[in-house]
Structure 1
Amino acid sequence: MLTKEELPFCPVATTVDLIGNKWKLLILRELLGGTKRFNEMHRAIDGISQKVLTQNLRKMEEDGIVTRTVFAEVPPKVEYSLSELGNSLRPMCGE
């Protein structure tokens, strides 16, 4: 995860560094509306495969943009939401 000191000073440059492809931008758009489960995002993002969604969510979690919460139940329940860093990108998305 990047620290605030490692991020560029310019908010636009920071956003481009953290969200380098269209899928991450669309995932961010979905999470701006609140916490979502994997299948909710998969249905909402037209054209994204499960593999690409998984890869992008993992990278966004690694970068500290997304928080993944796993609930100990059967079947397993996993929810994704924006972290503090992810929420700091909200002004760049027009919200």
Structure 2
Amino acid sequence: MDNKNEVNYSCPIEYTMNLIAGKWKLVILWHLSQEKVMRYGEIKKSLNNITHKMLSQQLKELEADGFIHRKAYSQIPPKVEYSLTSLGESFFPILESISKWGKHHFKENEK
């Protein structure tokens, strides 16, 4: 889990926010929770306006923090698949709550 364990957090929210910080991490986790296994290109297509560099960075951080598993196949062309780990799956109820909240308030703001 990177050096995030070395920091003394004042509360569990601060710890969690540090792990999921990043514009795309929650969206990546959401798509993986819906599809179960996705290739890099599929993830990129599902995210609007993300750069290759940003997607690569966010995936590496999620993997380092134990949220996702990366499986690389030794073939040409290269094939890499991403899926949620048990830690990532344990985060699904939180993602679902965020999604419900967003749907509710998105509709309210359209009025």
Q: Say yes or no: TM over 0.5.
A: yes
Question: Any runs of at least 4 consecutive aligned residues in structure 1 with deviations exceeding 6 A, and if so which?
Answer: none
> Which structure features the higher share of helix residues?
2
Distance 1:52 1:42, change over 3 A: same
How big is the shift at 1:13? 5.1
Contact 2:25 2:58 in 1 (8 A): yes
How big is the shift at 1:73? 1.4
Identical-pair percentage: 38
Matched to 2:26, the amino acid is L
CA RMSD of aligned residues (A): 2.1
Any residues of structure 2 matched to 1:79-90 within 5 Å, and which? 79-90=81-92
Tell me how far apart the structure 2 counterparts of residues 78 and 24 of structure 1 sit (CA, whole Å): 18
Tell me how far apart the structure 2 counterparts of residues 59 and 73 of structure 1 sit (CA, whole Å): 25
Tell me how far apart the structure 2 counterparts of residues 15 and 47 of structure 1 sit (CA, whole Å): 26
Contact 2:66 2:87 in 1 (8 A): yes
2:38 to 28, 33, 36: 36
How big is the shift at 1:44? 0.6
Q: Which runs of 5+ in 1 are unaligned?
A: none
Which structure has more relative contact order (CA 8 Å, sep 6+)? It is 1
Q: Which runs of 5+ in 2 are unaligned?
A: 98-111
Residues 7-53 of structure 1: per-residue CA shift (max 9 Å, x gap): x885x555423211221011111111111000101111001101100
